[in-house]
Amino acid sequence: MKILLKSFLFITLIVSITTVQASQYLRKNASTDAAKEDLKALDVALKKMKAMGCSEPFSWYYQGATHSIPDKIDKNPLCPSYTNKKDLKWAWDTCTHQDGSEIHFLLWHRLYIAHFEKIVRKLSGKSDFALPYWNYIDPSNRVMPADFRESSTALFETSRLPSLNNGNKIESFMDNNLNINNLMKNRVFSVFNRNIDSAPHGAMHAYIGGDYEGKEMWNPIFQSDKNYGLMAHVPSAGFDPIFWLHHSNIDFLWQAWELSPNGKRPSLDELKAAPWPYKFFDENGVKVEYTIEEAYQAAFKIDYQYDQLQSAIEAFDSGEHKLLVSENTQQVKKLIWQQSIEKATKNNKLVIDTPKIQNQKNMELMLLDRPEALVIEVTVSFESQPKDTYNVFIVDGSGNKTLTGVMTFFGADHHMQGHKNHQSLGKKNSPMI
């Protein structure tokens, strides 16, 4: 069975004004001394959570399974009450790596980790706890934070890339995946949302999960050997404690983009056009189920801020910043480029040769100063999920090559499984860059 991966590049427009609420909690860079007390609090909370039964909403297992869980686990000592999909508990397996959910990727994960953050605040007893973030975009922060490499903590996980647990830096072949220059140039929320989902988000999931070069490692969530660790598989990703700092960093990058001149929010209509469940537990153990309207409001009334973005908040408060609003979808023009991938290896190149597609409809928009947003949609098919990433280039008529992004495949196998398990929740919407 072939899986289609769609990929987008953008050029866009549009303006409006909004405001941001004052923040109460400060999320800190996990690689700095300022985050040490928060990391200790996270360790305290996770030790309590790991001692709880899997049916308890605050437990490590329940929180991880809210993101996703394997379809079937024959023998499950970590949670004997769950062996297959008929045993799903409330809110489990609702992450946005399934059909019809892509537009909700950033919003759903923001609310997911925000509810987790409040639970940790209560369990740890640290009243000002805020979830740190691992800023691996910064070359000086490309070693996994020390607390996650210490086996005596609840933050350690063996089912990861061994070099990260050993304190080695992220390898240089990941540089393009962690270069956000093109990402921050996006002016269309739906595109930024999909691009960041692919890289650095998906790229780091696959990297942290690790490539064991044909060797298998025990995955305690699947209760079987896998070629990759917890983070590389959607159904087990939420069970690695580094997941929370990884997604805090994705949220940090989203907020940095939103506060930039290019930043833009989705419209409520485009979210409502793709219904998706928002189900979590609050810090008192009470079920919280949002409508799309309520989720939208909650996502943009956050009670935290990031340590490196304080000046941007001051700019909002002073009225100096104008936030771009969601694009009119009728103003987005698309080009389609198709290519088949048999296998992917590190540093593979996917080249879009512009002279060959200049005669296609709307190609002239790339060359003219027009109000429409031009989208180049790259559709890639494959029969088995590639392990690594593709660098995507555009080559102009003079042979000049420009790196425009990267294509990653995190969750592609789960996405196809989700098609049969969640087809009632929305139309299939494949990952993109």
Tens digit of pLDDT for each residue in 31-88?
A: 999 999 999 999 999 999 999 999 999 999 999 999 999 999 999 999 999 999 999 9
Of 317, 344, 359, the one marking the end of a domain is 317
More confident residue, 275 or 419: 275
What does the pLDDT look like over 351-371, one tens digit per residue? Answer: 544 444 443 333 333 333 334
Task: Give the pLDDT score at 125.
Answer: 98
**Would residue 322 count as lying in a domain?**
no
Q: Are residues 141 and 278 in the same domain?
A: yes
* Residue 95, domain CATH: 1.10.1280.10
Same domain assignment for residues 165 and 29: yes
238 and 117, same structural domain?
yes
For 220-245, the pLDDT digits (tens) are 999 999 888 999 999 999 999 999 99
Note whether 148 and 243 are same-domain residues. Answer: yes
> Is 395 found in the same domain as 304?
no
pLDDT digits over 181-206, tens only? 989 988 889 889 999 999 999 999 99
Phi, psi of 94 (to 5 degrees): -120, 20
Domain match, 59 and 175 both = yes
Three-state helix/strand/coil letters over 190-250: HHHHHHHHHHHHHHHHHHHHCCCCCCCEEECCCCEEECCCHHHCHHHHCCCCHHHHHHHHH
Domain match, 306 and 334 both? no
Inside any domain, residue 142? yes
Q: Which of residues 271, 292, 317 is at a domain's end?
A: 317
Same domain for 303 and 381: no
Confirm whether 415 is domain-assigned.
yes
pLDDT given at position 15: 28
Q: Is residue 432 part of a domain?
A: no
Assess if residue 430 is contained within a domain.
Answer: no
307 and 332, same structural domain?
Answer: no
Of 317, 339, 361, the last residue of a domain is 317
Is the model's pLDDT at 212 over the cut of 70? no
In the chain, how many domains are there? 2
Q: How far apart are the first and last CA of the chain?
A: 22
- List, for residues 272-325, the tens digit of each pLDDT value: 999 999 999 999 999 999 999 999 999 999 999 999 885 444 444 444 444 444
Could you list the residue range(s) of the whole structural domain that residue 378 is in? 4-9+328-425
Q: How much is the pLDDT for 411?
A: 66
Residue (of 19, 403, 371, 394) closest to 199 by Cα position: 403
- Looking at the fold, whether 163 and 226 belong to one and the same domain comes out as yes
Does any domain span residue 433? no
Q: Assess if residue 110 is contained within a domain.
A: yes
Are 392 and 250 found together in one domain? no
Residues 278 and 348 in one domain: no
Read off the tokens for 305: 């801020």
Residue 162 covered by a domain:
yes
